[in-house]
């Protein structure tokens, strides 16, 4: 019997006979069927190598389809004769290594199977389609959606949230460090605390999941703690919790990992994926934290990555998926490994080309009437406008199309992969930004989607030079920075030619001293035309401070400033309140000082607020002295760069991490540890700091040390503005023997 249904692609995962697809229709009802699809890859090589590979494939105990086709190699542009091999999904990931040993080159051989499915079929997660299903198998379908649509419908989703009651659920303490509280399950404003012993809680959880049948289970700490712990407890009790809708499956997992990037060690928790239902861990998702569900869904749609995976993958993974989708649509081979090495060149040429963005040292101090102009998505705009892509750099056909200073040239004859992928993102983000600025009922969702695009655009430049990028090449990375420096130089010349003083310039932004009545739009248009890149007026500051260097008070620090626009909105960069390691108490102090300053119309108004600002500092100082603070307000966050036992120096951070490890907590490089300084100079090392997770009883903290931190935080705002009272604002001498603080302001 054939039936037709219309709805949204909700979930998909491979099975031996094809791809299991789940659809949610307009009434919120779910359906599933099997699409008899299998993944494919390509091989090439010499006659002997291909013969060995074919012999190996014919001996497999599953059906293998092989046929000759032609595909294009990206960098050379040559059309190659290759063999297209199609195998069942379970065998797809297991064939790469044996075939490599046979000596053949592999392409498209390690793509995530669900992504490969979406690439080939031409649809995407959350795409609205009409399906024709016979029995349990898909017979035909029609796409009724577009990943680049501005407005689109989404399926009606039932969402349940699972967390621990108390501080663990609030995010104060990772339950892996200290479990606490009962299970709480909530849906549509109804919250149920699952009481009783563990058997009763497990039974109640299973009953609620079966009765509610949510499409999405969101959790706090679900990946690393809740789901694995509950599943293990249920298994020990001979019970199976109905996590997935697919009754033949429970959940899939991915192990946690630590990796080093951009000077930091990052810890990424493991993942727990469901089948026919989503699990989204709110504590283990960058995209959810930065863009919410609206941004997550947008990325899943345009990158063709399953929603559960998109929630946990890096932005680079999303961008790579968009590039691979483009490659498949244009019949371009996708290498398993990065194949392009850096071109050989003299050391002088390397020094000339291998530079970053340009920065002009700011005029340190307080200023008023300052206009900030930002180049709109400068680096991706340059990649699109100048056709900068790994395969277009130093082409054989356009040696005259030179890149300023870098010594490279760019192709005019063929459109590059990177510009082709970025152009629609730039267009869509610009549209979303305009809609969000216009306001209206959908403005919040538009902003979240624009934010999601922003992260793709932020990482696209760095991905060009990433050592593992499929289509990366460092020379294209150098071309982007070279054009960025050229644009900033042109902008500076344009500003000074018109008699204005540029206070600061940083990569893609300009701060210009303006006078009342200045034609700001005319100035913007002139700079934009002469620089050759779209420019936007970010705003005009009533007052602005560029913070001085700690080493030289006459030198400004690029990227460390704060100010208030003419509408009272604050912009803050580089201050303690923007750092993840700053205690909440000090963030609150700076926030309160800045909110008061935001009401001032000029520098005279800021200075007039001096006494009121000092009173705020006095109040926080007195709170510390009187003990009217909580451990959570005092906790300093520290990210491990290595295992606790590998720290050689007994800093307060290392001591806190070691205490957690001794208490039986498994810590990983990149993981965050929160601690309170209890007695910074105590002879007993373990009494100098205590992890927040292990704090019980009355709160103990080093008042003197926290007062020092408070004075530093206050000085960041008040220095050069409010005259301090010597008896109260006198700097305490710092014992150089004490452990180094993480707050390097």
* Tens of pLDDT, residues 211-224: 999 999 999 999 99
Q: Write the CATH number for 55.
A: 3.30.70
Q: What is the DSSP string of 476-545?
A: HHHHHHHHHHHHHHHHHHHHHHTT-EEEEEETTEEEEE--TT--HHHHHHHHHHHHTS-EEEEEEEEEEE
The pLDDT score that the predictor gives to residue 131 is 98
| E strand or H helix that includes residue 707 | helix 703-718
Which two structure tokens, joined as six digits, stand for 371?
């206009």
Q: Are residues 738 and 682 in the same domain?
A: yes
Is residue 565 included in any domain, yes or no? yes
* Residue 161 dihedral angles phi and psi, to the nearest 5°: -120, 130
Q: Are residues 519 and 598 in the same domain?
A: no
Q: Are residues 482 and 407 in the same domain?
A: yes
The pLDDT score that the predictor gives to residue 734 is 39
Domain that holds residue 179: 159-282
Is residue 673 included in any domain, yes or no? yes
Q: Are residues 271 and 372 in the same domain?
A: no
Q: Are residues 612 and 568 in the same domain?
A: no
User: Strand pairing of 159-164 and 672-677?
Assistant: unpaired
Interatomic CA distance for residues 398 and 395, integer angstroms:
6
Ramachandran category for residue 697: left, alpha or beta (phi over 0 → left; psi -120 to 50 → alpha): left
Q: Calculate the average pLDDT of the chain.
A: 91
Enter the DSSP assignment of 140: E
Over the stretch 49-96, which tens digit does the pLDDT of each residue have? Answer: 999 999 999 999 999 999 999 999 999 999 999 999 999 999 998 999
pTM over 0.85: yes
* Residue 688 dihedral angles phi and psi, to the nearest 5°: -75, -30
Q: Write the CATH number for 402.
A: 3.90.1600.10
Residue 352 vs residue 377, higher pLDDT: 377
Interatomic CA distance for residues 3 and 506, integer angstroms:
60
> Does 341 have pLDDT greater than 70?
no
Confidence of residue 262 (pLDDT cuts 50, 70, 90): low
Is residue 14 included in any domain, yes or no? no
Interatomic CA distance for residues 236 and 229, integer angstroms:
11
Confidence of residue 337 (pLDDT cuts 50, 70, 90): confident
Is residue 18 included in any domain, yes or no? no
The pLDDT score that the predictor gives to residue 167 is 42
Is residue 310 included in any domain, yes or no? no
Start-to-end CA distance of the chain, whole Å, equals 70
> Does 744 have pLDDT greater than 80?
no
The pLDDT score that the predictor gives to residue 348 is 66
Q: Which of 337-341, 435-439, 535-539, 615-619 has the lowest mean pLDDT?
A: 337-341
Interatomic CA distance for residues 466 and 556, integer angstroms:
31
Tally the domains of the chain.
Answer: 4
The pLDDT score that the predictor gives to residue 728 is 44
Q: Are residues 557 and 580 in the same domain?
A: no
The pLDDT score that the predictor gives to residue 188 is 86
Q: Are residues 567 and 611 in the same domain?
A: no
Enter the DSSP assignment of 45: -
* Residue 472 dihedral angles phi and psi, to the nearest 5°: -90, 155
Is residue 119 included in any domain, yes or no? no
Burial class (CB in 10 A: 0-12, 13-18, 19+), 187: middle
The pLDDT score that the predictor gives to residue 261 is 67
Q: Are residues 650 and 669 in the same domain?
A: yes
Is residue 630 included in any domain, yes or no? yes
Over the stretch 626-672, which tens digit does the pLDDT of each residue have? Answer: 999 999 999 999 999 999 999 999 999 999 999 999 999 999 999 99
Query: In the chain, pLDDT over 90 holds for what percent of residues?
Result: 82
Q: Are residues 612 and 721 in the same domain?
A: yes
Which of 251, 282, 313 finishes a domain? Answer: 282
Which of 254, 282, 310 finishes a domain? Answer: 282
The pLDDT score that the predictor gives to residue 169 is 36
Over the stretch 16-30, which tens digit does the pLDDT of each residue have? Answer: 999 999 999 999 999
> Does 561 have pLDDT greater than 60?
yes
Enter the DSSP assignment of 645: G
Is residue 706 included in any domain, yes or no? yes
Over the stretch 574-599, which tens digit does the pLDDT of each residue have? Answer: 999 999 999 999 999 999 999 999 99
523-537 burial by CB neighbour count: b if 16+ within 10 A, else e?
bbebbbeebbbbbee
The pLDDT score that the predictor gives to residue 461 is 84
Over the stretch 469-489, which tens digit does the pLDDT of each residue have? Answer: 788 888 999 999 999 999 999
Confidence of residue 105 (pLDDT cuts 50, 70, 90): very high
Which of 282, 308, 339 finishes a domain? Answer: 282
Q: Are residues 605 and 560 in the same domain?
A: no
> Does 177 have pLDDT greater than 50?
yes
Q: Which of 200-209, 311-320, 378-387, 731-740 has the lowest mean pLDDT?
A: 731-740
Confidence of residue 154 (pLDDT cuts 50, 70, 90): very high
Q: Are residues 235 and 381 in the same domain?
A: no
> Does 347 have pLDDT greater than 80?
no
The pLDDT score that the predictor gives to residue 553 is 84
The pLDDT score that the predictor gives to residue 578 is 95
Which two structure tokens, joined as six digits, stand for 477?
């990375």
Q: Write the CATH number for 698.
A: 1.10.132.60
Confidence of residue 226 (pLDDT cuts 50, 70, 90): very high
Q: Are residues 168 and 268 in the same domain?
A: yes
């Amino acid at each position: 019997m054939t039936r037709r249904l219309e709805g949204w692609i909700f979930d998909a995962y491979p099975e031996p006979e094809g791809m299991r697809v789940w659809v949610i229709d307009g009434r919120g009802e779910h359906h599933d069927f099997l699409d008899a699809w299998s993944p494919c890859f390509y091989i090439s090589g010499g006659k002997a190598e291909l013969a060995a590979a074919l012999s190996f494939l014919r001996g497999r105990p599953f059906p293998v389809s092989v046929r000759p086709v032609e595909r294009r190699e990206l960098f050379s542009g040559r059309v190659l004769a290759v063999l297209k091999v199609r195998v069942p999904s379970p065998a797809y990931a297991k064939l790469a290594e044996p075939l490599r040993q046979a000596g053949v080159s592999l392409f498209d051989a390690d793509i995530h199977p669900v992504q490969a499915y979406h690439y080939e079929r031409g649809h995407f997660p959350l795409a609205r389609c009409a399906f024709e299903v016979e029995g349990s198998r898909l017979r035909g379908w029609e796409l009724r959606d577009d990943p680049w649509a501005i407005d689109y419908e989404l399926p009606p989703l039932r969402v349940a949230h699972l967390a621990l009651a108390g501080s663990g659920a609030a995010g104060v303490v990772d339950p892996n460090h200290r479990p606490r509280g009962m299970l709480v399950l909530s849906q549509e404003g109804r919250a149920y605390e699952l009481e009783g012993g563990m058997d009763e809680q497990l039974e109640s959880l299973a009953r609620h999941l079966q009765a509610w049948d949510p499409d999405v289970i969101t959790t706090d700490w679900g990946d690393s703690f809740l789901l694995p712990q509950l599943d293990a407890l249920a298994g020990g009790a001979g019970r199976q919790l109905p996590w997935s809708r697919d009754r033949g499956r429970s959940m899939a997992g991915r192990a946690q990992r630590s990796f080093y990037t951009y000077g930091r060690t990052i810890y990424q928790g493991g993942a727990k994926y469901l089948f026919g239902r989503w699990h989204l861990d709110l504590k283990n998702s960058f995209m959810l934290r930065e863009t919410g569900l609206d941004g997550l869904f947008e990325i899943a749609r345009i990158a063709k990555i399953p929603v559960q995976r998109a929630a946990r993958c890096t932005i680079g993974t999303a961008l790579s998926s968009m590039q691979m989708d483009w490659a498949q649509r244009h019949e371009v081979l996708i290498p398993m490994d990065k194949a392009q090495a850096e071109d050989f060149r003299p050391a002088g040429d390397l020094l000339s080309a291998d530079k970053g963005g340009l920065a002009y040292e700011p005029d340190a101090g307080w200023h008023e009437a300052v206009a900030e102009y930002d180049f709109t998505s400068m680096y991706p705009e340059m990649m699109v406008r100048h056709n900068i892509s790994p395969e277009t750099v130093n082409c054989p056909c356009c040696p005259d199309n030179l890149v300023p200073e870098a010594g490279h040239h760019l192709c005019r004859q063929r459109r590059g992969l990177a510009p082709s992928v970025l152009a629609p993102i730039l267009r869509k983000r610009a549209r979303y930004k305009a809609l969000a600025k216009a306001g209206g009922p959908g403005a919040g969702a538009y902003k979240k989607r624009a934010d999601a695009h922003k992260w793709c655009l932020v990482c696209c430049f760095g991905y060009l030079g990433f050592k593992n990028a499929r289509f990366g090449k460092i020379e294209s990375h150098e071309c982007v920075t070279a054009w960025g420096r050229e644009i900033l130089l042109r902008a500076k010349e344009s500003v000074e030619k018109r008699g204005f003083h540029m206070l600061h310039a940083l990569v893609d932004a300009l701060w210009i001293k303006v006078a009342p009545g200045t034609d700001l739009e005319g100035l913007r248009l002139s700079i934009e035309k002469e620089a050759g890149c779209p420019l936007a007026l970010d705003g005009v500051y009533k007052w602005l401070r560029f913070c001085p260097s700690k080493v030289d008070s006459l030198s400004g620090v690029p990227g460390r400033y704060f100010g208030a626009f003419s509408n009272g909105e604050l912009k803050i960069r580089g201050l303690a309140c923007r750092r993840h390691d700053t205690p909440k108490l000090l963030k609150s102090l700076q926030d309160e000082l800045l909110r008061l300053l935001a009401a001032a119309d000029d520098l005279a108004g800021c200075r007039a607020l001096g006494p009121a600002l000092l009173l705020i500092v006095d109040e926080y100082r007195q709170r510390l002295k009187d003990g009217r603070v909580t451990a959570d307000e005092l906790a300093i966050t520290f990210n491990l760069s290595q295992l606790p036992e590998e720290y050689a120096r007994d800093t307060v951070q290392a001591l806190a991490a070691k205490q957690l490890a001794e208490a039986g907590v498994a810590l990983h490089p990149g993981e965050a540890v929160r601690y309170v300084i209890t007695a910074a100079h105590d002879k007993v090392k373990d009494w100098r700091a205590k992890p927040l997770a292990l704090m019980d009883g009355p709160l103990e903290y080093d008042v003197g040390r926290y007062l020092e931190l408070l004075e530093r935080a206050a000085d960041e705002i008040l220095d050069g503005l409010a005259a301090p009272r010597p008896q109260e604002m006198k700097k305490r001498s710092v014992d150089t023997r004490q452990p180094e603080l993480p707050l390097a302001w």
